[in-house]
């Protein structure tokens, strides 16, 4: 596969639509192509925003309550249709208008469920908005005219690139194939201010099979490097473990 052909695979890579052979070839290509690394990060961030548009799953108690209330309502015998209806396939079932009304009445009586669903929808909206803001801030740094990058390997199979814009005084970390942190832990980012570590926020949950893009919180300032440590949920005021990764900021 030629380099020109590899350049066209960024979208398929971000959507995990490559074969194992193509993915292996593209992984090798990414290690030496900052342009494709940046494009994959942008496409992955966009796909993540779309993936947040998910339906809320009702709690198991809702089904039991609806079925119980339906069982309490006597249904009328089915009426003979004037014309033969076309039979439905699969598991589709026909309900009489009375039975359907009973279902609606049962669901309407579950006020607590309605509140729960509203809260779930609101939380999903807030997550989507936060992801959109994060993606926009990442894209702003990556597209800055003065953006400069520095790459390094963080252990076996993990590659990381830090991109800095001096004019924006902001930085973005791109991590490819970052393994998930230990159970009950999170990855926390740090600016290295001459040996003094300053929190730069938490990394989103790593999938371990793509490129994670996150804008570091706070101004770059006089920081000379970026570190990644494993911390308790919510993060720590200062690192509590040895860094799993250290990168120098581009000069």
Phi-psi region of 205 (alpha: psi -120 to 50; beta: other; left: phi over 0): beta
Query: Considering the domain boundaries, does residue 129 fall inside one?
Result: yes
Highest average pLDDT, of 34-43, 121-130, 156-165, comes from: 156-165
In a domain, 79, yes or no: no
Let me know whether 182 and 246 are in one domain: yes
More confident residue, 76 or 150: 150
Asked whether 215 and 137 are in contact (CB, 8 A), the reply is yes
Contact status, residue 162 vs residue 225, Cβ threshold 8 Å: no
In terms of Cα–Cα distance, which of 218, 221, 249, 243 is closest to 230? 243
Answer yes or no: is 44 within a domain. yes
Count the domains in the chain.
2
* Average pLDDT in the chain: 72
108 plus 181 within the same structural domain = no
Do residues 103 and 11 both lie within one domain? yes
Answer with the residue of higher pLDDT: 107 or 17: 17
Q: What is the mean pLDDT of residues 150-174?
A: 87
25 and 110 inside one domain: yes
- 106 and 195 in a single domain? The answer is no
Tokens of 204: 């989103």
- Arithmetic mean of pLDDT, 185-190: 94
Same domain, yes or no: 138 and 211: no
The whole-number average pLDDT for the span 116-120 is 61
169 and 122 within one domain = no
Helix (H, G, I), strand (E, B) or coil at 170: strand
Higher pLDDT, 64 or 34: 34
Q: Do 227 and 245 touch, CB atoms closer than 8 A?
A: yes
Alpha helical stretches, state H, the chain:
3-7, 10-14, 20-30, 34-51, 60-71, 97-108, 111-142
Domain that holds residue 139: 1-74+95-143
CB 199 within 8 A of CB 188: yes
């Amino acid at each position: 596969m030629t380099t020109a052909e590899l350049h066209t695979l960024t979208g398929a890579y971000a959507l995990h639509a490559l074969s194992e052979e193509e993915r292996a070839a593209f992984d090798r290509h990414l290690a030496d192509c900052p342009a494709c690394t940046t494009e994959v990060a942008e496409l992955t961030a966009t796909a993540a925003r779309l993936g947040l548009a998910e339906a809320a799953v009702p709690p198991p108690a809702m089904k039991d309550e609806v079925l119980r209330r339906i069982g309490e309502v006597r249904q009328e015998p089915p009426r003979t249709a004037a014309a033969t209806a076309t039979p439905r396939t699969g598991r589709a079932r026909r309900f009489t208008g009375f039975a359907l009304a009973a279902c609606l009445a049962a669901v309407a009586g579950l006020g607590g469920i309605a509140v729960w669903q509203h809260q779930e929808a609101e939380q999903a909206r807030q997550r989507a908005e936060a992801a959109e803001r994060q993606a926009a801030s990442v894209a702003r740094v990556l597209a800055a005219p003065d953006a400069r990058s520095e790459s390094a390997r963080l252990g076996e199979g993990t590659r990381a690139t830090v991109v800095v814009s001096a004019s924006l005084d902001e930085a973005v970390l791109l991590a490819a194939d970052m393994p998930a942190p230990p159970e009950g832990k999170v990855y926390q980012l740090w600016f290295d201010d001459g040996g003094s570590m300053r929190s730069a926020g938490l990394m989103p949950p790593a999938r371990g099979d793509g490129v994670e893009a996150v804008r570091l919180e706070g101004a770059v300032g006089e920081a000379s490097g970026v570190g990644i440590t494993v911390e308790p949920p919510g993060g720590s005021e200062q690192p509590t473990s040895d860094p799993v990764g250290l990168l120098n900021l581009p000069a």
